[in-house]
Structure 1
């Protein structure tokens, strides 16, 4: 047989071996911690490019056998942050992204009551993956570094609320020396750190736009503690101070209840001004928000050149991002007719399954933890909790 014929015969087999399998959708059908139909089982069998669909499930997935491990590039869709929760039961974190180079999207969940003695109580992305968090609530989690989320790769947070998390450093999120964090149309509220970075602790690159930080607390940098580079625009900072030995650049049109650390000197910036925010509550949509109350200086004072996207405020469809011809500051847009009357907050509650339901417990005090690293350095991967 000639070499040409041999190559011609072999080529089809080579092609067959190199064509990737078609991406599939794996349906989650119950709130069990493990076993057939569970979210954990879906993550075990998922291949790169697959979608995990939990939109037909409501209640709480209470984790009793450790954190959820994400080993592939996958999209994980929940039924809504006000419908479906992943509950760490205060014995382990929610999700851990295991490998570098992965691309992971998590949408439509509440991730709550996760705990890690080291990094990332709610979500741990310490291995240089790309993680997107859409329309989620990250709440009541605790860790040494990054009570809500620890990021050592690329993190995008959109249309989400990060609230009531605690850590030694970075109560809401901790953006490590190799991390890039982008936050838009989101709320950081009531996060706590001792000593620094109540809302956000940043070592590398942080971009924060059209968001609201309110009532976060820490000894230093109750809102943001920065050792790297921060860009901030169209954002409300209420009782959430900026402390920085790095670089902070105002993109303009921010509103701060204090002096903004002296960094908010861009066009349209307002400092030492009460933003007149409502409490964190259900103002419509799947996540809790702080409404701009009547007379708020944040109404119709955002960037006059703003053009969608995003087309909606944090609450999603039905809540236009631009009303009356000009965007509001922060993650909340006052709609025609004014701020809505508050409605009772929807809470994801467990459905009857073979796994007993565990209700949310008070946030545990963070365990003693390592001093935050000021430069990226390799770390041994935390052993999954038993």
Structure 2
């Protein structure tokens, strides 16, 4: 009897995706009905449709007590002590400890590493000290469990999930039936490409980042002869929340191939969450969506506190910083949303449909640019924003802001390293935001954390940053002009397409296609 393919246990994931109402790309041979809209859930089970039920996965070890298993080799030949071998022997709740390795990188040569336990934690020596590298040939991890795959003090990079034909894909570094948690870790350089690409780096029921980074990942709708889709360039949570704590989501993209002439639906350049979530002391910057939600796209309520969303782009549609397709409440406290761009409206925040409520408290939404009007906050219909102590330079005409909202230039420094684990936008001397804010959550510190008080001299500043004078920024991230955004769109699509062509020429693409067809 032939061995079951290693990708054959993710049918529950496909079912969950279908239930989540995530749009699937439409083949050219099946025209879109007039009533079609993103999120109608047609056929998303095609993602991993060839996969069979998890019941054939390795049986759990009866009475297993959680243990710590040591990785002693940086090879990937399956021999004893290698990461692949140790993970294959792990049981429920085990910790795989690779913290003693000094090699710098584990280059995977045997494809993605399967993870069968519901709960497993992998510990490395530090994100800068050890990377597990997919070498652009396959995913890094496939988590068949329904619990949490924890990744601590490690980097995952160069994962690939590329499929051919009218097929969808996702999770180029990690794909999970359950949840993925990053602690002091980095996931970068991952590419998911297909007619529909759902999650450039991570696709999971829920995603949690603690002092971690998602950078330079891409979800690419790559079919040249079909309407394509791309969700969550950095990560996609398909039936759970995304939680960000003191983390960075930077330089990710949800886009389509430069050769695509049939249209696309792209959303969530940095993050896409089906059930909302929360960002605290985190920065989403420099992310790109060809369509909506350059930094963040959510289909449910989302909370944002002491965070910065800056320099993101929604090239042709709405929500350069945040795109919210919700009928739920959102609350934004002590945050800065600035320097984002959009093609139509709501370059800072855009609501598709009217949320039950938006509470904006002691936050800056400013200097967001769009081709037309309605730069900072826009909705599809008349809407009243609750809250106080805000600075919003340009709300849409149908958006009613709190009466005490300031409208002048906040005088922000560009995004820079100003202390703490994430980049922030400091305030210039003379900024109207100085001393004009509030501290509704009674936080001790601003976004930067310990050593940076939230309130000084009895006064709180508006936005994520507290302080009258910011240091000169070392790494400015200006807002993208329309022309620069257009050039970026062309570059991202063309670059990703060149990657695909190189892989086709080297045989990697063919090998992946064969693997997927077998699975």
Common fold by TM > 0.5: yes
In structure 2, the partner of 1:62 is 133
Contact 1:47 1:74 in 2 (8 A): no
| d(CA) in 1 for partners of 2:412, 2:517 | 40
Q: Number of matched residues?
A: 325
Closer, same or farther: CA 286–251 of 1 in aligned 2, 3 Å: closer
SS of alignment partner, residue 116 of structure 1: strand
**Aligned partner (choices 187, 190, 206) of residue 114 of structure 1:** 190
* Cα separation, partners in 2 of 1:116 and 1:170, compared to 1, 3 Å: same
Q: Is 2:421 aligned against 1:290?
A: no
Aligned mates of 1:27, 1:278 — CA distance in 2 = 46
Does the aligned pair in 2 maintain the 1:86–1:94 contact within 8 Å?
Answer: no
1:274 CA displacement: 3.4
Q: What residue number does 1:243 align with?
A: 350
Instruction: Provide the residue aligned with 1:303 in structure 2.
Output: 438
Q: 1:255 aligns with which of 356, 364, 369?
A: 364
In 1: Cα distance, 2:465 partner to 2:364 partner:
13
The answer to whether the aligner puts 1:339 opposite 2:470 as a matched pair is yes
Find the aligned partners of 2:446 and 2:308 in 1 and give their Cα distance. 11
Q: Using the alignment, how far apart are the partners of 1:188 and 1:384 within structure 2?
A: 36
Mapped contact 1:236–1:275 kept (Cα < 8 A): no
Query: Structure 1 residue 199: deviation in Å?
Result: 1.2
Q: Corresponding residue for 1:358?
A: none
Pair 1:253–1:281, CA change in 2 (3 A): closer
What's the offset of the Cα at 1:251? 3.9
CA contact (8 A) 2:413 2:470 kept: no
1:231 aligned onto 2:231: no
Please report how far the alpha carbon of residue 47 of structure 1 lies from its aligned counterpart in structure 2 after TM superposition.
Answer: 3.8
Show the counterpart of 2:152. 78
Computed over aligned residues only, the root mean square deviation of the Cα atoms, in angstroms, reads 3.7
1:268 aligns with 2:389: yes
How much does 1:95 deviate? 3.8
Deviates more, 1:52-61 or 1:204-213: 52-61
Q: Structure 1 unaligned runs (5+)?
A: 1-16, 346-361, 368-381
Question: Alignment partner for residue 23 of structure 1, among 19, 43, 66?
Answer: 66
The TM-score normalised by the length of structure 2 is 0.54
Q: d(CA) in 1 for partners of 2:88 and 2:181?
A: 16
Cα distance between partner residues in 2 of 1:48 and 1:277: 49
TM-score normalised by length of structure 1: 0.70
The structure with the greater share of residues assigned to strand is: 1
Q: 2:213 corresponds to which residue?
A: 137
**Aligned partners of 2:157 and 2:173 also within 8 Å:** no
Match of 1:156 among 227, 233, 243: 243
Are the structure 2 counterparts of residues 271 and 39 from structure 1 closer, same or farther at C-alpha, using a change threshold of 3 Å? Answer: farther
Which residue of 163, 177, 183 corresponds with 2:279? Answer: 183
| Pair 287,231 (structure 1): closer, same or farther in 2 beyond 3 Å | closer
* Relative contact order, higher structure (CA 8 A, sep 6+): 1
CA deviation after TM superposition for structure 1 residue 189, in Å: 0.9
Q: CA deviation at 1:198?
A: 0.9
Cα 1:205–1:328 shift into 2, 3 Å:
same
Check whether the contact 1:232–1:250 (CA below 8 A) recurs between aligned residues: yes
- Residue in structure 2 matching 1:209, options 269, 287, 305: 305
Structure 2, unaligned runs of 5 or more? 1-59, 95-120, 163-170, 220-229, 255-265, 341-347, 367-374, 394-407, 477-490, 498-514
> Contact 2:427 / 2:469 at 8 angstroms: preserved in 1?
no
**Secondary structure of 2:391's partner?**
coil
Work out the CA distance in 1 between the residues paired with 2:288 and 2:184: 24
Aligned mates of 2:458, 2:69 — CA distance in 1: 43
8 Å CA contact 1:184–1:208 kept in 2: the answer is: yes
Cα 1:149–1:286 change in 2 (3 A) is same
Please report how far the alpha carbon of residue 234 of structure 1 lies from its aligned counterpart in structure 2 after TM superposition. 2.0
